[in-house]
Amino acid sequence: MDRTTEATLIRGSIEVSIKDRPSEKIILKPNEKLVVANDDSALLRSSPGRLAPSVKDESLVTIRKPTYEQSTGAIIETSWVDNKLTFKEETFGELALQMERWYGVTIRFGDPALAQLQFTGSFKEETIQQALEALKLTTLTPLFTYSIEGNQIEINK
């Protein structure tokens, strides 16, 4: 399960209400990102933002600015519109969730410590094998190996 649920608004404005709090309305404006924690620790470790107006602190709802790719200025959260999987300082565990959706696979870590590795990059037309090979090459010594059986991928040391 993803640690957070996010919505990024580029143009216009939308009114959002949280499932268990329908009376609390949040207005999202252009170039804002709403982040709702799916568990208590999700927002505590991530980048700071302002609490959404009228939403209590314990709901763990913040409004932030989108994340921009340094080289192109593209908004990372909407890169899927251009058929790109873009990530910045994501843990391998977080990236694996995105890759599962992107490639239609299931990724498991044989060593949980590997899920804490961090990566920045993007994939556009790479296959899952090419993407995993690219991640392996980001360090001088490959930090992980992988095996693929059908749509199941196992990541190991």
- pLDDT tens-digit profile of 45-54? 444 555 555 4
Structural domain count, the chain:
2
Whether residue 57 is contained in a domain is answered as yes
Task: Read off the DSSP letter of residue 2.
Answer: -
Identify whether the C-beta of residue 128 lies closer than 8 Å to the C-beta of residue 148: yes
Which run of H or E residues covers position 133?
helix 128-136
pLDDT at 52: 57
pLDDT at 141: 76
**Whether residue 60 sits in one domain with residue 88:** no
Structural domain containing residue 108: 81-156
Whether residue 145 is contained in a domain is answered as yes
pLDDT at 75: 79
Q: Measure Cα distances from 58 to 25, 27, 100 in Å.
A: 16, 19, 30
pLDDT at 45: 45
Whether residue 128 is contained in a domain is answered as yes
**Whether residue 85 sits in one domain with residue 56:** no
**Whether residue 87 sits in one domain with residue 149:** yes
Q: Which segments in the chain show pLDDT lower than 50?
A: 42-47, 54-58
pLDDT at 4: 81
Identify whether the C-beta of residue 155 lies closer than 8 Å to the C-beta of residue 92: yes
